[in-house]
Amino acid sequence: MRKPLVAANWKMHGSDQFLETYFPALEQAIDSDKVEVVIFPPAVYLQKAAGLCQQLQAGAQDVSQHSEGAFTGEVSATMVSDVGCRYVLVGHSERRIRHRESSKTVAEKFLAAVGQGLVPVLCVGESLEEREANRTLAVVQSQIQSVIDLAGLEQLTNAVIAYEPVWAIGTGKTASPEQAQEVHRAIRDMLGPAGQHTRIVYGGSVKAENAMTLFNQPDIDGGLVGGASLKVDEFAAICGSV
């Protein structure tokens, strides 16, 4: 059985004060026997977030592919683990597109994370143009293959995969449950038999009102939530819909 996972990607939102109200409120609202809940705050808040976690988990939104050195502004996997975090997002489309991270760089970050015992949440997904050109599965396959080539299939099947169609992120346009299920199923098939235990979560305009129909699909094991994760009541409702 795959334990559902619901994650909050705060992106560049939040404050010290926000953490102090959000974490206790969410702790009250969730049942970690039923769902694993991970919060991804900005890096400066990771240590504090980890300290506030009881049932919750904290994770980093990004990690350097390098272990240490002259990389101004970057945070290593050792540091993320050092402050008490277990999870890390790699390959979010905002990093791939706005920070020009290639699939090779993403795979290197994935490898750096597993090397320190972190669990990467590998984000994959197609642009609108790619979907319209019928290239969704080819794009996702190639993003996944880059990680398999560098880190190996076993490491990937032990990680978490987030399918996030770029056209659905922050746009209010959600993939239909059927559209998402089709891609999740294809991703699971790409992983072979070991993929049966891999959690594949959906991201892209998940809200309280659409979470349940998405999470009801057989190959959707939870969600990665951006905008709606900033409202603690709504996010708690999303966690409750698994």
Handedness of CA 222, 199, 1, 111 (dihedral sign): negative
Active-site residue, 130 included: no
Please return the burial class of 135, using the count of CB atoms within 10 Å of its CB with bins 0-12, 13-18 and 19+. Answer: middle
What is the Cα–Cα distance from 120 to 118, expressed in whole angstroms? Answer: 6
Question: Which residue is catalytic, options 94, 101, 126, 164?
Answer: 164
165 near ligand PGA, rule: CB under 6 A:
no
Binding mask 138-157 for ligand PGA (x = CB under 6 A): --------------------
Question: Binding of ligand PGA at residue 222 (CB under 6 A)?
Answer: no
Are the C-beta atoms of residues 162 and 121 closer than 8 Å to each other?
yes
Does position 36 interact with ligand PGA (CB under 6 A)? The reply is: no
* Residue 210 in contact with ligand PGA, rule: CB under 6 A: no
* 206 touching ligand PGA, by CB under 6 A: yes
- Angle (CA) 102 106 110, round 5°: 170
Stretch that binds ligand PGA, among 17-25, 52-60, 107-115, 220-228 (CB under 6 A): 220-228
Choice from 170, 189, 192, 209 touching ligand PGA (CB under 6 A) = 170
Those residues whose C-beta lies under 8 Å from the C-beta of residue 24, and which sit 6 or more positions away, are: 52
Question: Does 232 contact ligand PGA by CB under 6 A?
Answer: no
Between 214 and 228, whose beta carbon lies closer to ligand PGA? 228
Tell me if 208 contacts ligand PGA by CB under 6 A: no
How buried is 190 (Cβ within 10 angstroms: 0-12 exposed, 13-18 middle, 19+ buried)? middle
CB 236 within 8 A of CB 29: yes
Amino acid in the structure at residue 154: E
| Closest residue to ligand PGA: CB criterion | 226
The answer to whether residue 125 forms part of the interface with ligand PGA (CB under 6 A) is no
Token pair of 240 as six digits? 């409750």
Mark whether 92 is an active-site residue: yes
Provide the residue count of the chain. Answer: 242
Stretch that binds ligand PGA, among 67-75, 109-117, 177-185, 221-229 (CB under 6 A): 221-229
Residue 173 interacts with ligand PGA (CB under 6 A)?
no
Residues of the shown chain interacting with ligand PGA in the complex, contacts defined by CB under 6 A: 9, 164, 169-170, 203-206, 224-228
What are the residue numbers of the active site? Answer: 92, 164
